[in-house]
Chain A
Amino acid sequence: DAKTTQPPSMDCAEGRAANLPCNHSTISGNEYVYWYRQIHSQGPQYIIHGLKNNETNEMASLIITEDRKSSTLILPHATLRDTAVYYCIVRPSVSSNTGKLIFGQGTTLQVKP
C-alpha cells in the first residue's frame, strides 16, 4: 500500500480556497487517490477520488500531478462547516475485497472567519 504524507494542520480564511496537499511518491500505476474528511464527532465523509486526471464534483476539485506522486484537494470557497480532518488515502483499483480504508493522521483544516 502506498504511503501518504500530509501536513498536520492548516488554516484557511472563510470564503477563500483551501488547498490541501498530499504526497504519495510510492503510488503504483493501479492505485487511486481518495480523499475523505471527518468533521468532529461524525463519521468520515467521502469527498472525491481520481487516478491521473483532475476531477471535480460538487464538493471539491482534485489535482493530481503528472507523475502522480502528489495531489491537492481544493475546496474552492471554504466555509466554517469545512473545518475537519482531511485524509488522503491511496487504494488499488482492483479491490482486495477487504475494502479496508487506511486513515493516517490527516490534515486538520481550521477555517477561520
Chain B
Amino acid sequence: NAGVTQTPKFQVLKTGQSMTLQCAQDMNHEYMSWYRQDPGMGLRLIHYSVGAGITDQGEVPNGYNVSRSTTEDFPLRLLSAAPSQTSVYFCASSSPGTVLYEQYFGPGTRLTVT
C-alpha cells in the first residue's frame, strides 16, 4: 500500500495562475479531504468528500474547487492563485462511520504564490 500520495511536493505559482494539486489513495477509503496549514497554525478544512460524486465545502473553500470522479482520486484546483493561498496542503482519507476520524494524511504539497 502506498497510502495517500500527493503531487507535486513543491510548487511555485504566479498570482492569477491556476493549477491542480493531485491526491490519490489506494486503501479504498470513501472519505477524503483537503486541509491547508499556514505557518505556526493548525490545519483548516478546505473541502471534503464522502464518496465518489459527492463533495462539500469545509471552513475555507473560497478559491478552491474539487471533484471526485473515482474513489481513489480527489484533486484540488486553485482557480486563480493568490498570495494568501501560500500554504502547505494536506490530503487525508479514511473510512466512514466510527473510524471516520482515524484519518491517513499524505506528505503534503508546499505551495508558494508570488
Q: Is B50 an interface residue (CB 8 A)?
A: yes
B48 contacts A99, CB within 8 Å? yes
Given A44-B90, A95-B97, the answer on whether A100 and B58 have CB atoms closer than 8 Å is yes
Q: Mark A85-113, 1 if CB is under 8 A from B, else 0.
A: 00001010101011111111100000000
A100's partner among B4, B48, B90, B96 (CB-CB below 8 A) is: B48
> For the side of the interface on A, what is the size category?
20 to 34
A105 contacts B107, CB within 8 Å? no
B31 contacts A99, CB within 8 Å? yes
> For the side of the interface on B, what is the size category?
20 to 34
B96 contacts A102, CB within 8 Å? no
What residues of B have a CB within 8 angstroms of the CB of A42 in the complex? Answer: 107-108
Nearest chain-B residue to A51 (Cβ)?
A: B98
Q: Name B82-114 residues within 8 Å CB distance of A.
A: 90, 92, 94, 96-98, 100-108
Q: How far is the CB of B111 from chain A (nearest CB, A)?
A: 14
A101's partner among B4, B43, B50, B107 (CB-CB below 8 A) is: B43
Q: A44-B103, A44-B105, A99-B100 are in contact. List 6 more A-B contacts (CB 8 A).
A: A46-B103, A49-B101, A95-B101, A97-B50, A97-B56, A101-B103
Residues of B within 8 A of A (CB): 4, 31, 33, 42-43, 45, 48, 50, 56, 58-59, 90, 92, 94, 96-98, 100-108
